[in-house]
Amino acid sequence: MMRGAEARHPLWDLPVRLSHWVITLCLPAAWWTAEEGLLELHAWIGYTVLTLVLARLAWGVCGSPQARFGDFLRGPRAILAYLREGRRETPGHNPLGGWSAMALWALLLAQAVSGLYNSDGILFDGPLYAAVDGDLADKLGAFHETAFNVLLAFVGLHVATIAVYQWGRKQQLLVPMIRGSAPGREGTGPAAPLARWLFLLDLVALALLAILAAAPEPVSSWW
């Protein structure tokens, strides 16, 4: 690094990148474990997604500059200005990208939470399966199946959009999501401390485990 050069800040800090790529790996793993009937493992993959998304949402309030909702959630006027003139005020998500990230997080949450109420009807009950009546649990189970297809469609759209920006419009999207930044795409301020994110992650994981541990035990239908 050049002495005296201005400090460079990452566009996407480590928590943003790590959460993104771990969630990306979790989706095929969740599908595969469900197909193979490895539902204990499937559930742990789901808890991982749930924890990472909730911690990412908390990071939207107290994370690094471009990770914050205030940086990328914009109203209709900014969205229109972006669509008409390509105008954007942050090197982070553009006004459409910000809302599509919110949609992806909402879908991931819906998927993981509905899984908690799901059951294969034989060997595995989600930890909240017994907390609601059978009818509702069945509906949430069906929702869990449908939500995955909707999630896949959105992820397909997400990856296609990234490809258009990256190769069609020659904008650097992939490198910053891997290495943190790229020439011309840097953050506007110092990254928030990693310890803060680790603390949030622990807090979310512990809260989730406490809620699940307090859930009523399933009553076995075998005796």
**Interface ranges with ligand HEM (CB under 6 A):** 16, 20, 23-24, 27, 30-31, 34, 39, 42-43, 46-47, 49, 56, 93, 97, 101, 104-105, 108, 111-112, 115-116, 118-120, 124, 126-127, 144-145, 148, 155, 158-159, 162, 173-174, 177
Residue 156 or 190 having the CB closest to ligand HEM: 156
Q: Which is nearer to ligand HEM, 2 or 221 (CB)?
A: 221
Measured between alpha carbons, how far is 92 from 133 in angstroms, rounded to an integer?
44
Closest distance to ligand HEM from the beta carbon of 137 (Å): 10
Rounded least distance, CB 160 to ligand HEM, Å = 9
Closer CB to ligand HEM, 1 or 120, in the complex: 120
Closest CB 27 distance from ligand HEM, rounded Å = 5
| Minimum distance, C-beta of residue 72 to ligand HEM, in the bound complex (Å) | 7
Residue 17 vs 203, nearer CB to ligand HEM:
17
Q: For ligand HEM, give the closer residue by CB, 9 or 42.
A: 42
In this structure, which amino acid lies at residue 212?
Answer: L
Element housing 207 (H / E) = helix 194-214
State whether residue 49 is helix, strand or coil: helix
Helix (H, G, I), strand (E, B) or coil at 219: coil
Tokens of 66: 């471009």
CB of residue 78 to ligand HEM, shortest distance in Å: 15
The whole-angstrom separation of Cα 75 and Cα 215 is: 39
Check: CB of residue 8 under 8 Å from CB of residue 181.
yes
Residue pair 68/60 in contact (Cβ under 8 Å)? The answer is yes
The number of CA neighbours under 13 Å toward the Cβ of 212 is 19
Bridge partner residues of 185 (DSSP): 182
